[in-house]
Structure 1
Amino acid sequence: MLAGGATFLTVRHLKFQNLIGGRTADARDRREVHGTKLAAPSSMFPKKKSQRSEDRDLRSVAATRRLPGQSLRDEKERLTDNRLIPFYFSCVFTWLLWGWEIYRARTHTPPNPSILLCLAIVVTGVTVIVLGRLFGRFQRLNRGERGELRTAEALDDLRTHGYRVVHDIVRKGFNIDHVVVGPAGVFAIETKFRSGEGEISFRNGEGLFIDGFPDERDSLKQARGNAREVNRIIKETCGFEEWVWPLVVFVGDWRVKNEWRNTDARVFTTDTLARHIVNQQPRLKQSEIKLIASHLERSAKT
């Protein structure tokens, strides 16, 4: 009788506590009376992912894909770390030494600033020469990066038509700016950024002419080399050969006059690139597009 009364009071006490805390008392109360606890199913109360784990997942996703112009940014970082910073601080250090000698001279400490002055002048001269060369190189890298980003923006419209775009596939000694895989096939794109404005003519059998002058950079040769490399990657990873179209895209205020007929390469501006690709006849299935694009994305990560 006493045990039953104690049990009844305990249940009432637990229900009262649960009502105060805003919780309902049911089977959990009875289990606690008998000395056991009922764990809530994980499906009823799913754990929320912490902000730190979400940020870590986003960083892992971002790290798996290369961005347009990433190899150019990596090159700028290497130049900054290996050339710019060491020469800058060596120049500053020598002038600090010379200033220290001047201080010693004014405090009547036996000085010898002439040697340090000569050293500072020599180091400054070398630093100016190196920084001048680096400045031109940084300018070219910045132009190339802007060009690749502009081309990537133009290629984004292709995603709605079932195309996949892979950026910045780095190979030994060179990189492939963009590769487009979709219903019309595979396209290897070489991006060229040129300041100024004018007309670029692509003459069949003669090559590229920029405002009437031959293209000294041989952009068509680079584009064809990129296409051969993409074809080799597809053959090694997918087990079959697929024709890869070499394309050259000029970024800037340029007009392209195409006079080609039977040639493999094509030349465009960012305004006409996506339209040309979409208008081609379909030749790849969705399964083939997915297979080729996935292997090319893996190649871009390595």
Structure 2
Amino acid sequence: MKIKSQKHSPLKAKPLRNPGQSLDDQIHNIISEDLASYIACAIFMFPVAIYDWYRWYNPKPINPWLTTITAFIFLTVFVYKWITLRRKIKRLRMARDGEKAVGQYLEGLREKGYKVLHDIVSDSFNIDHIVICTKGIFLIDTKTISKKDKDDQITFDGKTVLINGYKPDRDPVRQVTALSSWLKEKICEITGKEMFIRPVVAFPGWFVKMDLKYQTNVWVLSAKALPRFIEKQPDILESPMVHLITSHLTRYIRTL
């Protein structure tokens, strides 16, 4: 008797992630896990209350007030959670769309042989985008911030990012520098090569003015200007090294 072999996926390796995929996952989790349970409770309690009110007019009525009050408690909790989670989802969607916008600008670089990776997720952080090419290695951290006016702008003096003259709650320069240090160590670990990583903070939809009073390796740019800045850099890596780094890094990312 011939035993059928077990079927398996034709994919030999886990596919790489898309721009903003981790944010999409968070949005899905909020809707499917957090919000769905409150919707289910609210929907469940109202038929119970309606049934009790129906029984109220029977020869042996029961008191419907308990289930009615319970139903309205569930409804109140649901409305509160819905408002709270709606705001959170709105912020996540804006951040996701910003990452996708930056990713779409970077995708145009593939035609010129640049290697582009998106949404590298670790246990405690994620890297939005990495570009590897003969111009070097660029780590891009996307910051999507709402605007009040079309003339709003961001300034960077080499140390501090100001959004309409105010410091953001979290220092984006410190964040992207820490991510770049991690990536530098990881590339050195998996390839044996020590490489310079260019930290980049990208603000989609904003006008960004860099008035560098202080020496820095960090770029703070609008998303639209990012590909142009990369292309203007001199060649510092040869193509075989680009392929080597990309191959090793891609293999590592697939294990995360």
TM-score normalized by structure 2? 0.89
1:143 aligns with 2:97: no
CA distance in 2, matches of 1:208, 1:242: 26
| CA shift for structure 1 position 161 | 2.5
SS of residue paired to 2:145: strand
SS of residue paired to 2:204: strand
* Match 1:257 to one of 201, 206, 209: 209
Identity of aligned residues (%): 31
Partner AA of 1:200 in structure 2: I
- Structure 2: runs of 5+ lacking an equivalent: 1-8
Structure that is richer in helix per residue: 1
| CA shift for structure 1 position 62 | 9.5
SS of residue paired to 2:201: strand
Higher relative contact order (CA 8 A, sep 6+): 2
Partner AA of 1:115 in structure 2: L
* Match 2:177 to one of 200, 220, 224: 224
In the alignment, what sits opposite 2:154? Answer: 200
SS of residue paired to 2:34: helix
Alignment of 1:22-41 (within 5 A): none
Deviations 1:201-254 (A, max 9, x none): 00123x0011111122321122112211211220121112111111000011x2
In the alignment, what sits opposite 1:85? Answer: 36
In the alignment, what sits opposite 1:38? Answer: none
Deviations 1:112-167 (A, max 9, x none): 21111121122122212221111111001100111011101110121122210000
CA distance in 2, matches of 1:75, 1:184: 34
* Match 2:186 to one of 223, 233, 256: 233
> Kindly tell me: are residues 98 and 278 of structure 1, through their superposed partners in 2, closer, same or farther at Cα, counting changes over 3 Å?
same
1:269 aligns with 2:222: yes
Partner AA of 2:22 in structure 1: S
CA distance in 2, matches of 1:272, 1:78: 34
1:163 aligns with 2:114: yes
* Match 1:248 to one of 171, 184, 201: 201
Instruction: Say whether the 8 Å CA contact 1:162–1:183 is kept in structure 2.
Output: no
Deviations 1:55-92 (A, max 9, x none): x75xx489511111110111111112220111110111
Partner AA of 2:132 in structure 1: V
Instruction: Say whether the 8 Å CA contact 1:161–1:278 is kept in structure 2.
Output: no
CA distance in 2, matches of 1:87, 1:108: 34
SS of residue paired to 1:194: coil
SS of residue paired to 1:240: coil
In the alignment, what sits opposite 2:4? Answer: none
In the alignment, what sits opposite 1:209? Answer: 162
Deviations 1:3-24 (A, max 9, x none): xxxxxxxxxxxxxxxxxxxxxx
Partner AA of 1:117 in structure 2: T
Instruction: Say whether the 8 Å CA contact 2:158–2:218 is kept in structure 1.
Output: no
Instruction: Say whether the 8 Å CA contact 2:154–2:164 is kept in structure 1.
Output: yes
Which stretch of structure 1 is more off in the superposition, 193-202 or 147-156? 193-202
> Kindly tell me: are residues 120 and 280 of structure 1, through their superposed partners in 2, closer, same or farther at Cα, counting changes over 3 Å?
same
In the alignment, what sits opposite 1:185? Answer: 136
SS of residue paired to 1:79: helix
SS of residue paired to 2:146: strand
Aligned residues between the structures? 244
Which stretch of structure 1 is more off in the superposition, 117-126 or 139-148? 117-126
Partner AA of 1:270 in structure 2: A
SS of residue paired to 2:162: strand
CA distance in 1, matches of 2:253, 2:47: 46
In the alignment, what sits opposite 2:63? Answer: 112
In the alignment, what sits opposite 2:104? Answer: 153
SS of residue paired to 1:107: coil
SS of residue paired to 2:203: strand
Instruction: Say whether the 8 Å CA contact 1:166–1:296 is kept in structure 2.
Output: no
Moved over 6 A (4+): none
